[in-house]
Structure 1
Amino acid sequence: MKLALVVCGVAGALRRPALRVRPPPKRERLGEAMVTRTTGGGEERAARYRTAVLFGALVTQKVAADTLTGWTRARTTYSGATVSMLSEIAKFPVLALAICAFGGGWRRVKPTIQAALTDRPMATGWIAGAYAAQNVLYFAALSYISAASYQVLSQSKLLFTAVLAVTVLREPLSLRQWGALLTLLVGSLLVQVSEMAGGVYLEGGRAALYGGFLTVLGALLSALPNVWYEKLLKTEGEDEWVRNVQVTCWIFLWIAASQIWHALRAGARPFASFARFGAALFGGTGLDGITPAVWLVVGLKALNGILIPATLKYAGNLVYLYAKPTSIVATAFLVSLYTHTLPSPAFALGAALVIASMLAFSQKNKTVPAEDDH
């Protein structure tokens, strides 16, 4: 009887091979392709939405910061160094949020700060010094030229970066890229000629040549550390968040030292008391001239600490690169609406050449330094 039951059980099992041997499910065989097919539609839509949001936020921040800075410089008297220092102070909590969101979570904030204090803290000192000088020149330049012209002329940084990349990083450039740099130079000159002629952006084109010089000098001071900073971050084992914290600290210290030096030259005796020291840090005038609009500039400048890493991480380098020419067009459009006039032909042609040169140059260079604008 037992033998009969065993035989029946074996026969039943042989009649049901599908229950015994099943091919691996398509999800296992196709891996990520299956996941993308089942849920990828929603993920792709979310990714496109996220990219659009980041792109819009980056362009809006750049246009708003430059336009509002130019507007406040024309209507309010305040220290550009003081605003630069305030924006660096505001960048510390922004960097903490960026580390939480993109650098490993909130548990990484304290170790990152500790590493910034102990891991070769002097390595980024001169880099931050150049960025600090460029930050101060930013406010000085926008006292003499329009926000639209500043955005175009500041792209001369691409020319300086390319030359330094060839000489320092030994990166070859194609003929197309050299042609793009020549186009950039011609476009920048056209914009400068338009600004000197007065155009529609400044009444009488006051000191436009000086403003253009400050802009180009700021671009040079930004390009030089960018190349070395990129070289540093490409070194194996480097932590970009540690270096970003170090650079932010150094920029604050450089600007603070500059303010104290100016106070000493003016005979203010900043070390006589805590109150005098604080007054010296803020240009001797405290927060005079820091209107709500200027505070908004401070916040907009500080947002670089989170918008740039978020765009590079979740949207990609090309999105970051295309945000710059888009901001040029958007700024020119807004200024035209505000002044109820159209840009001059020289400005329009120059801006078009600059945008074309940036797009042509970026077709090969797909990498961007981790921290471009300080």
Structure 2
Amino acid sequence: MGAITKYAVLVLLVLQTTCMVLTLRYTRTVVIDGPRYLSSTVVLLAEFVKLMSCLFIIYYQCKFDPRKFMNELKVGLLNKPLETIKTAVPSGIYSFQNNLLFIALNYLDAPTYQVTYQLKILMTALFSSLLLRKQLSRNQWFALVMLMTGVALVQYPAGSTAVENTSSIQDRMYGVGVLLVACASSGFAGVYFELLLKSSNISLWIRNLQMAMFGVIFSSITVLFTNLKEIQKDGFFQGYSIAVGTVLLLQAYGGILVACVVQYTDNIIKGFATSLSIIVSTIVSYLVFNDVQPTKLFLAGTMIVIAATFVYGLRSTKPSSTKLTEKDS
């Protein structure tokens, strides 16, 4: 892949990550007439779009030959049923995590969400050490300490501003708690999926297809058990708008885009994209939503997180570095 294409993928990932967070934040906070959309239905539809997209990509790889396409699905899905079932674990966790992210954004501003969510890197490192027995260098562990320090500074409340009411502080802490659970689930699911990728010769897109299949199943269960009454009352597509449709597409294609970045570039590119998206979301959130007033501590913490993300990503400069997981949101 040429340098121009790599930069194009980098820009796309920055835009996708930033737009996803800001658009999602907008749809959950904007004042509307009538009921707000159900996040569980968006997650379900996003998994379905992802499923259809993976089928199309596999069909394209088979040069639109129906017989070759059906044989590819048979070999990838039916001939190895145990391998297919294994993907139910990360798929179920990701479905759970996606719903947690929607909840967290109800209580956190976009930049705080974006920076705090970088703790998934720490969780991924810990689970990699436990499950994959990966050895991290001193620089990498130092980067993780930098990461935690930066996030702590970002979360530290500004003492010079007006005193926050108790409910506001409780909402913020609740949002952070939900996001920490999402970080842990993301780290475990990512490492487990990496283990699946390395333990077989099943293609990247077949694995994505398997994940999407179980994603549709688990998301459907979530919808039925959590929002059935609301759907019966106001309909499945209650509160949907162009902005919600945009969130749906960004959610669906975000994982596929990350898969391309992981497969064709490296961790450094991905780290740059994540860091740049933090900066962009902070600026846009301040200018558009005015839901955050950056303090010196916030800016310092953000810069530390950006630096930590870059330093931690330096591990991928080795040619033998392992592949990352395709899903990361």
Q: TM-score, normalised by structure 2?
A: 0.85
Distance in structure 2 (CA, Å) of the matches to 1:193 and 1:104: 53
Q: Is the 8 A contact 1:147 1:331 kept in 2?
A: yes
Distance in structure 1 (CA, Å) of the matches to 2:125 and 2:266: 21
1:238 corresponding residue in structure 2: 202
Deviations 1:172-220, CA, capped at 9 Å, x for gaps? 1111111111111111122222499989xxx966711111111111111
**Structure 1 residues 141 and 236: alpha-carbon distance in aligned structure 2, compared to 1, 3 A threshold:** same
1:125 maps to 2:88: yes
Tell me the amino acid that sits aligned with residue 347 of structure 1: F
Pick one of 52, 59, 74 that aligns with 1:114. 74
Distance in structure 1 (CA, Å) of the matches to 2:281 and 2:252: 20
2:47 corresponding residue in structure 1: 88
Distance in structure 2 (CA, Å) of the matches to 1:318 and 1:244: 23
Greater RCO (CA < 8 Å, at least 6 residues apart): 2
- CA apart distance, 1:112: 4.0
1:259 maps to 2:217: no
1:345 corresponding residue in structure 2: 296
Q: Is the 8 A contact 1:195 1:208 kept in 2?
A: no
1:187 maps to 2:150: yes
**Structure 1 residues 350 and 256: alpha-carbon distance in aligned structure 2, compared to 1, 3 A threshold:** same
Pick one of 12, 18, 21 that aligns with 1:57. 12
Distance in structure 2 (CA, Å) of the matches to 1:136 and 1:239: 28
Distance in structure 2 (CA, Å) of the matches to 1:205 and 1:86: 33
Distance in structure 2 (CA, Å) of the matches to 1:88 and 1:321: 25
**Structure 1 residues 317 and 353: alpha-carbon distance in aligned structure 2, compared to 1, 3 A threshold:** closer
Q: Is the 8 A contact 1:229 1:369 kept in 2?
A: no
2:324 corresponding residue in structure 1: 369
Tell me the amino acid that sits aligned with residue 330 of structure 1: V
- CA apart distance, 1:339: 4.7
1:291 maps to 2:241: yes
Deviations 1:202-261, CA, capped at 9 Å, x for gaps? x96671111111111111111101111101101142322221111111111111112222
Q: Which has the larger radius of gyration?
A: 1
Q: Secondary structure at the match of 1:168?
A: helix
Distance in structure 2 (CA, Å) of the matches to 1:61 and 1:259: 25
Q: TM-score, normalised by structure 1?
A: 0.75
Distance in structure 2 (CA, Å) of the matches to 1:146 and 1:197: 19
Q: Is the 8 A contact 1:164 1:224 kept in 2?
A: yes
1:163 corresponding residue in structure 2: 126
Deviations 1:123-148, CA, capped at 9 Å, x for gaps? 11121111000010111111110111
Distance in structure 1 (CA, Å) of the matches to 2:111 and 2:295: 12
**Structure 1 residues 100 and 54: alpha-carbon distance in aligned structure 2, compared to 1, 3 A threshold:** farther
Matching of residues 169-318 of structure 1 within 5 Å: 169-194=132-157, 207-262=171-226, 279=231, 285-318=235-268
Distance in structure 2 (CA, Å) of the matches to 1:49 and 1:143: 37
Deviations 1:249-298, CA, capped at 9 Å, x for gaps? 1111111112222367x6x9xxxxxxxxxx46xx9632111111001100
Q: Is the 8 A contact 2:191 2:325 kept in 1?
A: no
Q: Is the 8 A contact 1:160 1:220 kept in 2?
A: yes
Distance in structure 1 (CA, Å) of the matches to 2:175 and 2:3: 39
Q: Which runs of 5+ in 2 are unaligned?
A: none
Distance in structure 1 (CA, Å) of the matches to 2:86 and 2:71: 18
